[in-house]
Amino acid sequence: MASLFNLAGVGLSSPAAAPRRSRGGGFAGAAERARTRRVVSVRAEVQAINPEIRKSEDKVVDSVVVSELSKPLTAYCRCWRSGTFPLCDGSHVKHNKATGDNVGPLLLKKPKE
């Protein structure tokens, strides 16, 4: 049976995602599908995210003042490694050490009144 999800671009497919007929002719139940599920793990490549922008700086951090913010400071992730994405959780520090990169967060600041 054809797969509903075809990840041919990465050489993977998920036949378990397609509805299957059970032995009685009806569609397979949740318990039967659970036994046939496959897990696909995706690993991030260890390479620099910022290959050329402001490489002379230790860490590239940009700040933008936005008057409509509810919090005085919000940090957004630009390394794509944050466990709280899109918010920054500091994961760029580990990434920068592993790759020699200098990526940092985007800081949105509320202006001082």
Query: CB within 8 A of 102, min separation 6: which ones?
Result: 50, 54, 55, 57, 58, 59, 60, 96
Tokens matching residue 12: 């993977």
Which segment of 28-32, 81-85, 90-94 scores lowest on mean pLDDT?
A: 28-32
Would you name the residues annotated as active-site residues? 59
> Pick the residue with more confidence: 35 or 4?
35
Query: CB within 8 A of 10, min separation 6: which ones?
Result: none
For residue 107, give the amino acid letter: L
**pLDDT mean over 69-86:** 93
**pLDDT mean over 67-75:** 91
pLDDT for residue 5 is more than 60 = no
Alpha-carbon distances of 35 from 14, 28, 102, rounded to whole Å: 14, 11, 44
Pairwise CA distance, residues 26 & 19, whole Å: 10
According to the model, what pLDDT value does residue 6 have? Answer: 38
